Structures are given as C-alpha cells and as structure tokens.
Structure 1
Amino acid sequence: MQHRGRHRRRKRGRAVRAFLAGTALALTAAATMISASQATVAENPGALKPLTSPAETAGLRLQEDRTPPRMLDRLAEAMGRPVGVSAVLDGADRTLVEAADCTRTERKSLPVAPDAGRAYCWDPADTAAPDWRPASVTTSGDADDDGSWGRHRVILAGWTHSTTTGSVADRGLARVAFIDADDPERLAYSWVLLVVPTADGRDYRGLVSPVSGMVWYRNKLLVTTTAGGAEALYVYDVDRIHRTTADTPAIGRVPGGWSARGYRYVMPAVGSYRFPAGRCSATGSPCPGALSLDRGSAPDSLAVSEWTPADSDRHARLWRYPLSADPAGGGPLATDPAGRVDAVEAYETRAAGIRGVLTQHRPGDARTTWYVGYPAGSLDGRSSLWRQDTDGANAARCGSEATRHCWTKGMGSLSYAAGTGEVWSLSDRMLFSVPLASIDSSTE
C-alpha cells in the first residue's frame, strides 16, 4: 500500500505539471498572436528610487496604540481561559485538497511560471459562495526561526468578505484559516474570526476591513486594516484565542454566552500601529497593502508595500520597519520611548496596484532585493512577479519573451519559509508554494 501511495502521488504530480505546461504553451502561442501595440508585456517598473529625506519618509511613521490590559483581562474573565494554536488545529473541521484533485478552473489560477511546488484548493464548504476571498498568508516559519509553532507546522491565510455582495451582516468581515501543515498530503484547518474589544472589554465586534497583508512574528499577528476609516496595522495575539459558546448570527455577547456568526473561535485585537499623518495620500501616510517578514535583515524587519489603485499614475512606496529584539516586549515593532516607529529603508517604485511584497538580503550584497507582485495584465487575467533593486527590475517569464504575466489570477501576499526555501502565496482559488530558487531562476 505504501508503494502504491507513492506511485499515485507521482502520477498526480506529473498530471499537474502536464496541465501547467500545457497552459504555458497556450499562453505563449496566444502571446505571439497579439501585436506589440496591445502591450502584453507589463510596463517595466524599473529600478527602485531610494527615499532618504525626512520629507519623503515622515508620512511612514507609525504610533503604537496598545489595548489596555484591563480590557483584555475583563474579556478573558468573561469568556473563559484562552486556547492555544494547538487546540485550534486539533479541532480542524476543514480539509485542503491536493492540486491533482482540484478542478481545472482552480488549477488554472496557479502560476504558469515558475511552477508551484505544492498546491491546494480549499474545502468546498468555503468556496461554494464567491463572497469570501483569500488575500494574505504567513507561516510558522515567520513566527519562529525553527519553522514550527510548538509541535506543529502552521500556515495562516487571511480572508475578507466582499463589501458589496452576499450577506449584509458578513460584509467586510475578516477571518483567518489556521492550517495544520504537518502532513503535506493532508492539510486541515479551522476558522478564527478577527474581532475588536469594545465596551471596555465587556464585548467585542467583528473587524470590518480588508486584510491584504499579514505577518506572524513570535506570538503576535500583524494585519493591514482600514478599520474605522483610518489606515493602520492591527495587532493580534495567538495566545489570546477564545472559544465561542453560542451559535447565533450575532457577533459578541448574547444571552447565554458569546457568539461569532457560527465561528467557533475569535481572536481580539491587542493593539494597533497607526499613521499620525492621517488618511493616506501621495505625499503623506500610505495605504498599507502587502506585508512580509524579513529574517535576513539585522534586526528582523517588516516589509510593507503601499496600496494604490492599479490604474493610478501614483508611484507606490516600499519600506521596512524594524522588529523588536525583546521577546518580552509588547511589540512586535521596535518603538522609541514615545511609542513611535520609523522606517529603516524606503523606496519608490514606478508601478501601482501592488498585491504582494517580499524582501531578501544576500551574503556580500548590501542591497535589499524586493520581490513585488503587480496586478493582472491583458493576457488571461494573470498578474506578474518582479524582482527589483536599485539597479533595475526583472520579471518571471512564461517560457518566452512574449509575456511576463505568468503569476496567479487574483494574486495574494507572499511569505518566505526559510527552513524549506519556499515562498507561499495565494491565488483567488488556491494556496500554493514555489521554491525561491525557482523564482530567482525565472527572473534572471
């Protein structure tokens, strides 16, 4: 039986590779039929322009705002002792499906080049309605440099509900899939709803915001938000996940217990980092878009990209914040005595609509290498992935010079797992990983 299982997996792998190879050939053939005037090649975003003057970087400053401990303690006393990540994983009631058993439409959302090393589609219970969409990803490789959280390897995927379709009560809500990734052939997950304490810790409400970026560092989870009409990074604590006790359509305290629209777990925000300069603008505060962790910098740092409309003429900014070296601190960002956080590095890129960002530092090279995902182009609705630095930019190609729109449909954020050398990301339908070495080869 064991040998037959391995043979079946090899057949599945060959089937997926054959499917993607066929897609690549089709894309290449189509590209050759499109005239140069139709511009299937994305505009090159060019070399990164360093932003060094105070006037250029002042708008990137953050101000830490911690939720008062009494609020969190009061909520914990009322809801009961928090549960750990292991308890959430042990109760997983959803299963991810290996790519070979996914539908053709789902597999078509994967990158054409470079090939996905591992790929999974979501449990049908979560894809039956189109109103929820995945957008951000992080792993226990971000949380701890040994790649595990406790006894588990874990992947977190952030989903956001549409603000215009589906149930009115669900619109804009954010949830996180806690995925048990110990067995690559059987990934299982549970949902945790993101909430915000209210009424001085006597209640909570759902977080209503797109979660386009997410990073897990130590026991803290950072997510991008536009909650309350102000751009910020919200902070969550994976040691403060609570069980709900009532299954009702409400979110918060209900007669007889605590509810979260049917979700079994909630995670309340423990703080935020806000932009004192106010609402996002071209010269002031940015709209934070994608996030990722950089463990190759000293100290560890948070890479951030600015969200701008894909059809905008505004050039987006890319920057990094230092992470705190104190594991006992409130963190996770390194603040000055006044709770302020300044960018340690910032650039402007000649592009808009960024969907994913990742940074790497290579031995002997003082420059930061940025991997940046841009929106879909005209060919087959695919996005493009570029490698950029202060010298220039190169894109992953679909096996020819004809097109650089080789990445996913509905691109999500990027997360690098150093222990395995994989970059995890999302399409609008699938979770997948690509070896970083393959991305580098494709962009050379």
Structure 2
Amino acid sequence: MAANRTISPWCSRDPFNTAPDPDLKYCLQDDDSTSHEWIPQAMTGVSDARDNELYGAAGNIQLFASYDNNDPGRDNNKDKYGDCTEAEAKKRDSCNQKGIRITFVQSRTNPATGSPEVKYRHVLLGWTFINSANHVSFDGVHSAEGDPDADPDKFMQNGVHAGGMVWYGNFLYVADTRNGIRVFDMEKIMDLDPDGDGKAGDTMGKDGADDKTTTANVEDKSKVGRHDNVWYSYGYRYVMPQVAAWKFRAAQKNPTAQADKYKCATTGRPKASYLSLDRSTRPDRLLLGEYCRPAGSTTYPSTGRIASYPVAELEGRTNDVKAEGWANYLPLATGGAQGAVAHDGTLYVNESKGTDEPSNLWRYQWVGGELSAGGRAPIKTATGAEDLYYERGAGRLWSASEHWEGAVNAKLAEDGKPEGCLTGPTSAHICQRVLYAHKLSWVNSQP
C-alpha cells in the first residue's frame, strides 16, 4: 500500500492541557487534524493482528477509524448533492456521504533517504452487494436504520460510528453500534489506481460472470461502486470490502428516541460502542463495551456493560458465540466510556469529559465479582480521548483525541478549500487532534 500523507511526531498541538504529556504523540496533517467531517474513533494495530507483531515483514503499524460526521459541502438535502452541483460533487470529497474510512499509519525508514519517517494512508470501507446487473458492487458503510433518502445527514450514521475495531489475522472487526460487528478482509483490499497517477482508466480485469473488462475512476468523487463496468470509490485509491457480520441475537431494549440516544438498557441487546483485543489471556479475547450516559434516568440507569468473546470462535463459526468474561457494569457514575482494553487482569477505560477538559483514564480489576478501581484516582489524559489499543512489544497504550475544536475557519471548508489552522492569540485550541501513547508501565505506576 502506497502511503501518501505524513505525520509530524511531537508537533505543538496539545489536547492535554494540564494532563501529563504522553510518551509519544503523532500529529496528522492539518486537513485531517482540523476536519469536522472525518472524526477519529477506533484504534488497533499490528500488535493485535499478529502474535509476532509483524504483518509479513511490516511492523510498527497502527490503524485508526473515522466516521463521516457531516459534509461541509452540503448545507441541505434538497437534491442528490445538496448545495453542491454535480460538477462540484465529482471534484469535492466533502459533497458526498462516504460512511467509514480507516487509516494505516507506519513508522519506518525511508528507503530512498535512510531517514526515519511516519507515513499514513486513508482507505475507504465498502459494503459489498450484487447490483441490478448481477455484478458485485459496493457502497460506503452505512447503518440500515432510519430513512437515508429522507435525511442522509440525520440517519446514515445512526448506528455505524466506528467507535471500536480490532485487527486480528487477516480480518478487521468494526463495531456497528446497534447491530453487532462487521468484518472486513485485509487480503481483499482493492487498488483502484494501481499505477498511482491519480487518473481514471486503469484496467481492473474481467468480471468472471460475463467476461466484461472493467476499469477504475478515482477522479470522479461523486460515485461509489460499479457503474457501467467502471469502478468508483469517492476518489479513494483503496477500498476494503466487508465480507461478514456478527449480529446480536438478544432483543433490542435500548431506546430509539433521539433524545435518549446515549441511554442504555440494563438487559437485552448491548451496544457495540468500542472493541479491543486481550492477548494476555488464553484464548485471545475480543472485548466489547457500551458508551452510555444515564443522566439520572431511572428507566435507563446503565453506565455501560462490557463483555468478551473468544476471537477464534468469531473467525470460524457460523452459529452463536456467547459473551464470556468481564461481563459487568462499568463503575462510572455518569458513564461516558469511549474505549477499554484489558491486559494481565487490569481493565483500562477512557472516560470522556467533553470538549473543554482532559479525559479520565481509569484502571479496574475484578474484585469480589465486581470491577473496582481499588481507591486509585483516574489519570488525566487528552481532551476527547477515544478508543484504546495496547502495543505489546513497545508497552504502549494508544488512543486518539477526536475534537477539532471550534476555531477552524469553517467558511473555507464550506467553499471546498483547505481548512488550515488559524493562528494568533485566540488559537490555543486549534489543531488539537492527535494520536498518542502512554507507556503502560507509567500508567500502572500512578497512584
């Protein structure tokens, strides 16, 4: 995979404020750091994927997932493209609702210069289906809930938030909040621009069903999937297809009203808000947990459940897989768990505290049948801390900060221009979005 973007380690962006600095901080390019369209959530990496932390010969790989929060090129949905003309939609990524993308990040040595560098590449996730011409095609990953034709901005992301994911073997498991887990295949990534020139017309081979030769078009950003024997991908070079799904069997008891969207039932189907992998157990286990905000509700008092599944059974079975281990309610008074990961019997949980103060990183252990912090206070960490991922060899606990804050020049984005970072005395909270890692040994040493 050809990486085309560059990370700056230890730039001046600082979502930590009064919280302790991390062991490592990765700063994305400005348009990713300030984007209010793509919001980062989940994290995983090659340490989850392989026991030896290598995918082939490649190591030092992290992945994060982002959801398409809104489309700044579209003020309304009066027609197919909102405020964008058809010509604008072909050129501007922000005119179209694209669903979910993942980003591969790798620290490596530049083969040409011999210097260290950190590069990254965005990859679109695709939901595969058979189209009306009986050909395999794909769309962006959206939820099946709601009515996307009536109001795409309101309904399309009601369910698929990419709040958690785990890379295990060749598969990528992605949380689908209301439904379960979607499964994508690393070995089936499509390259729609194999010569790397950014132009349309690359040959993609023949369709086995009707022997038709297909081509690709990465210049037209208004289309996705196969149309008249041409593959489109909203302009993305790489697309990773969905190949399976695990759906919850329990009855849906969570509220569906918009006002109650962060409340959770105490029984029945859970929400798949975040995922992680525990390789310190035998067998390896996939953790799944809920983001809940009870807000004093007596009907929905849950602060969030968390449970685990033997991941090998998710790989090889087609019938039910029961939740086991860590099945408990999180001891958070107001909820708000954004991510959790377990290692050597300790559960680490990121609790968000809004957009203007550091998040909490909690440490829990299983005591007397319940999760307990054992009197330890939470560790302050980045504002807007999200999902958690443990890199075993380096001993690092990774996360991402999600907030872009409010001082980006939104008018530039609305006009389809680079958003950029503002400067000046009022810009202290600009470009705050980073990937970061704390040493687990440091985390465990805190009182």
- TM-score normalised by structure 2 residue count: 0.68
Contact 1:304–1:320, Cα closer than 8 Å, also in 2: yes
Written as runs of structure 1 = structure 2, the 5 A alignment for 1:128-143 is: 128-143=34-49
Q: Of residues 96, 106, 110 in structure 2, which corresponds to 1:180?
A: 106
CA distance in 2, matches of 1:308, 1:319: 15
CA distance in 2, matches of 1:395, 1:120: 32
Contact 2:17–2:358, Cα closer than 8 Å, also in 1: no
Q: Of residues 418, 422, 427 in structure 1, which corresponds to 2:401?
A: 427
Partner residue in 2 for 1:376? 353
Report deviation, 1:111. 8.1
Report deviation, 1:217. 0.4
Contact 2:302–2:329, Cα closer than 8 Å, also in 1: no
Q: Of residues 179, 203, 207 in structure 1, which corresponds to 2:141?
A: 207
CA distance in 2, matches of 1:135, 1:149: 23
Q: Of residues 254, 276, 279 in structure 2, which corresponds to 1:295?
A: 279
CA distance in 2, matches of 1:350, 1:319: 14
Specify the code of the residue in structure 1 equivalent to 2:439. Answer: P
SS of the residue aligned with 2:380? coil
Specify the code of the residue in structure 1 equivalent to 2:310. Answer: P
**Residue 180 and residue 111 in structure 1: after superposition, are their counterparts in 2 closer, same or farther (change >3 A)?**
farther
Contact 2:362–2:379, Cα closer than 8 Å, also in 1: no
**1:112 equivalent in alignment to 2:19:** yes
Partner residue in 2 for 1:321? 309
**Residue 220 and residue 441 in structure 1: after superposition, are their counterparts in 2 closer, same or farther (change >3 A)?**
same
Unaligned runs of 5+ in 1: 1-87, 326-330, 362-367, 398-403
**Residue 437 and residue 175 in structure 1: after superposition, are their counterparts in 2 closer, same or farther (change >3 A)?**
same
Partner residue in 2 for 1:246? 217
**1:349 equivalent in alignment to 2:314:** no
- Which has a greater percent of helix? 1
Which runs of 4 or more aligned residues in structure 1 lie more than 6 Å from their structure 2 counterparts after TM superposition? none
Report deviation, 1:274. 0.4
CA distance in 1, matches of 2:337, 2:394: 26
Moved more, 124-133 or 340-349: 124-133
Contact 2:45–2:389, Cα closer than 8 Å, also in 1: yes
Partner residue in 1 for 2:385? 411
CA distance in 2, matches of 1:371, 1:181: 25
CA distance in 1, matches of 2:330, 2:9: 36
How many residues were matched structurally? 325
Written as runs of structure 1 = structure 2, the 5 A alignment for 1:21-420 is: 88=1, 91-99=2-10, 102-103=11-12, 106-109=13-16, 112-113=19-20, 115-153=21-59, 154-163=61-70, 167=74, 170-171=96-97, 173-183=99-109, 185-199=116-130, 202-208=136-142, 209-226=160-177, 230-244=178-192, 245-247=216-218, 248=220, 249-255=222-228, 257-279=230-252, 281=254, 282=265, 283-309=267-293, 311=295, 313-324=301-312, 331-332=314-315, 335=317, 339-345=319-325, 346-351=327-332, 352-361=335-344, 368-376=345-353, 380-391=356-367, 392-393=372-373, 404=378, 406-420=380-394
Contact 2:166–2:276, Cα closer than 8 Å, also in 1: yes
Specify the code of the residue in structure 2 equivalent to 1:107. Answer: D
Q: Map Cα deviations across residues 370-427 of structure 1 (whole Å, 9 max, x no partner).
A: 111112169x422101111233216886xxxxxx571111111111111111111111
Percent identity of the aligned residues?
A: 29
Contact 1:231–1:279, Cα closer than 8 Å, also in 2: no
Q: Map Cα deviations across residues 320-366 of structure 1 (whole Å, 9 max, x no partner).
A: 101217xxxxx42x64xx611101211112322210101112xxxxx
Report deviation, 1:288. 0.9
SS of the residue aligned with 1:149? coil
SS of the residue aligned with 1:302? strand
CA distance in 2, matches of 1:234, 1:278: 19
**Residue 256 and residue 126 in structure 1: after superposition, are their counterparts in 2 closer, same or farther (change >3 A)?**
farther
Unaligned runs of 5+ in 2: 75-81, 83-94, 110-114, 143-159, 193-215, 255-264, 403-432
**Residue 440 and residue 119 in structure 1: after superposition, are their counterparts in 2 closer, same or farther (change >3 A)?**
same
CA distance in 2, matches of 1:291, 1:92: 26
CA distance in 2, matches of 1:110, 1:190: 29
Specify the code of the residue in structure 1 equivalent to 2:435. Answer: L
Q: CA RMSD in A?
A: 2.4
CA distance in 2, matches of 1:124, 1:430: 11
